[in-house]
Every structure is written in structure tokens, then in C-alpha cells.
Amino acid sequence: MTFPKSAEVQQLPSAPLTVVQVAQYSKQLFKPKLTLRAHTESNRTVNVLAQVAGQISKVLVAEGASVNEGDAICQINAEDRYLRLDQTKANLEQSEIAYRGALKLKTGGYQSDLAISQAKARLATARANLKRAQLNVNNLQVTAPFAGIVENRPVEVGDYVVVGSLCASVVELHPIKITALVSEHDINRIDIGSSALATLGDNQAVSATVVYLAYEANQTTRNYRLEATASNIDRSIRAGLSARLDILLNGVNAHLIPASSVLLNDLGQTVVRVLLKGNLVGSVKVSSLGESRDGIWVSGLPSDVSVITVGQNYIIDGESVDPSFVVAEAN
């Protein structure tokens, strides 16, 4: 079929540009958070042992009671220990007089060096015996080595203890220790002194500080032991509670964008569609660093970037679009 020469060819109208919403984002300091399963432990637990043998004559503290450093927990019968202390004091006084007398005789030429040496040795022995007798008297009271709670006290009045017998176990709960296991991938991301937040089973949250990182991994799990401490002045946090430990890692510069802006390309890579010069569409590969209630933190974007937040699923790279700019607000 032929058309008359005068006929004009009609051109189809061009397709309208896709309308998209665009928001401007800038880099911010992002502090990643590492979450670990943890549990609470006492800061210290010490078994207080008897240092002298004898019968328990007094029990001064009940199990579960609070004690301060130096408080007496139980008393051992003195028997003749005070008499022995008085005897060693008298022996020391006698030895001192004998030694001074020997020195005077030496000055007059009436005493040999051997006699003086023997007197000096007897004086040293007397002093040692006095210290030993004094220690035996001092150790009649079994005392708390630090402020804490008497967790276990197996002795009662009338029990006979020997040197090394357990008199009580004292636990220190302030500060409270929070321990966790860290993978070999994450251990080098944590520093001594890093801030942390411990959340207990009843949703009680306490601030903590990392105080110890193991240098040797568990042979079975290949994990490293981590310890953090938190204030527990009122001792309301007990040892042995399950907890979640959130540790703030070193900060990095990143972008906080809406989670819906992150897409997967044909290669399965996470990308963000951005607006380029001339209102053209481009894709930038990003890495996810963490999530928050305001969006998702990503790295890989330019310092200042225009992110397509609405309509990004219906456009392709290189396509020209009709942008509508909105105030950046991660959701």
C-alpha cells in the first residue's frame, strides 16, 4: 500500500519518565553493637580456712549475711594459747637481758664470741616464738578477707576444725562480673575498656565495662572468654543469672538509610539505587553494618549521596527519571 505524497507521518509520543522520590544522605558516625549471650558471676569467691586447730566456740555470722573486710565469722577456742603468748613474752624479755649482759662482759674481756653468738641466737628464737604465738592468738578469729556475702558456713559451735578446714565461703558481688564467649571473628573488634550494656532476665539493664579478654581460645568451641564488670552496690544482682551483653565496638563512618532502599542485583549483591547527574539512575554496591529502628547502616556510598527511596524497584541503571526530592528520613 502506498500513501499520498502529501500525507504526513505521525510520530508516537515519548513515554513519560518514571517519578521517583529521592532523599539526600550524608555520612554519620556509626558505633556497631555486638550482642553476646552471657551470665553473671561473683567478682571474687574465697574459701576462708582455719589457720589453727581447735573447737568452734562462737559463730558470729549467719549464712547469707553481709560482712565487711576484717569482720569475724567464727571463733576458735583459745585453750592455752594466751598462756603460751605470755610465756613467749617472758622468754623474750629474759633473752634480751642475757644478750645485753653478754655484750657488757665482752667489753670487759670476760665473754667469748661464741657465747655472744649463742645469746644472740636465743634472742632471735625468742622473737620468732613470740610472733608465732601472737599469730596463733590472732588466728583464733576467722575473718572475712573482703566485703561481701557469707554464701556458705558449714561449721557450728562445738565442731572441731584442723588447719585448712573450711569455715566459710565469702562472695564479692560489687562489682558484679558478666562473662561471655566471643568468636575468633569478633574478638579483635573489642578493646579493654569498651562500653557495654548488660540486660538481665527481668529486663533490668546495667552499664558495664569490658575488663578482660582472653588470649587463648577454648580448645573445643574456639571461643574466647570475655569479662565485663558493672556496679552492684546494693548487691541486688545475683551471681548465675542469664544475661545479654551488648558491646559498643569502634565507630566507623556510614550512612543510615531506609531498609527498603537496599536491593539485590542480578548477581545477588546488595545495592542502593542513587540519582546521578542528568537525573540518571545508578547502583552502588553496599555492605550492611547493622540495623536500628530508624533504618539500616551501610558502607560503600559516597560521602553525600542522593538515594532513591520510592520507586527504586521499577527502574534500571542508566534510566532517566523524574525525581521528587524529600527530606531524608530513615524508617
CATH number of the domain residue 308 falls in: 2.40.420.20
CA distances from 62 to 44, 59, 151, 202 (A): 19, 8, 9, 29
The answer to the question of residue 62 being in a domain is no
Residue 47, pLDDT > 90, answer: yes
Residue 181, pLDDT > 90, answer: yes
Question: Are residues 238 and 261 located together in one domain of the fold?
Answer: no
Judge whether 281 and 273 are in contact, CB under 8 Å. Answer: yes
Q: Mean pLDDT across the chain, nearest whole number? A: 90
* 251 CB-near residues (< 8 Å, 6+ apart): 29, 30, 31
Query: Which pLDDT tens digit goes with each residue over 225-238?
Result: 999 999 999 999 99
- Output 101 or 82, whichever has higher pLDDT: 82
Residue 106, pLDDT > 80, answer: no
Question: Are residues 26 and 37 located together in one domain of the fold?
Answer: no
Mean pLDDT within 38-67: 95
The answer to the question of residue 237 being in a domain is yes
Query: Which pLDDT tens digit goes with each residue over 206-220?
Result: 999 999 999 999 989
Question: Are residues 260 and 317 located together in one domain of the fold?
Answer: yes
Rounded to two decimals, the pTM is: 0.68
Provide the residue type at 41 as one letter.
Answer: E
Count of domains forming the chain: 3
Q: Which of 248, 265, 294 is the last residue of a domain?
A: 248
- Ramachandran angles phi, psi of 177, nearest 5°: -100, 135
Residue 223, pLDDT > 80, answer: yes
Judge whether 125 and 116 are in contact, CB under 8 Å. Answer: no
* Res 236: pLDDT: 92
Strands, sheet with 252-257, edge to edge from the N-terminal-most edge strand: 28-30, 252-257, 295-299, 287-292
Residue 10, pLDDT > 60, answer: no
- Output 281 or 16, whichever has higher pLDDT: 281
Q: Which of 248, 263, 285 is the last residue of a domain?
A: 248
Residue 64, pLDDT > 70, answer: yes
* Res 109: pLDDT: 63
Angle at 100 between CA 97 and CA 104, to 5 degrees: 135
CATH code for the domain in which residue 99 is found: 1.10.287
The answer to the question of residue 56 being in a domain is no
* Res 110: pLDDT: 62
- The residue range of the domain holding 122 is 81-138
Q: Which of 217, 248, 279 is the last residue of a domain?
A: 248
The answer to the question of residue 283 being in a domain is yes
Judge whether 211 and 229 are in contact, CB under 8 Å. Answer: yes
Question: Are residues 223 and 256 located together in one domain of the fold?
Answer: no
Mean pLDDT within 68-92: 94
* 310 CB-near residues (< 8 Å, 6+ apart): 20, 21
What dihedral angle (degrees, nearest 10) is formed by the CA atoms of 248, 251, 257, 260? -50
Residue 154, pLDDT > 60, answer: yes
Residue 7, pLDDT > 50, answer: no
Mean pLDDT within 256-283: 94
The answer to the question of residue 286 being in a domain is yes
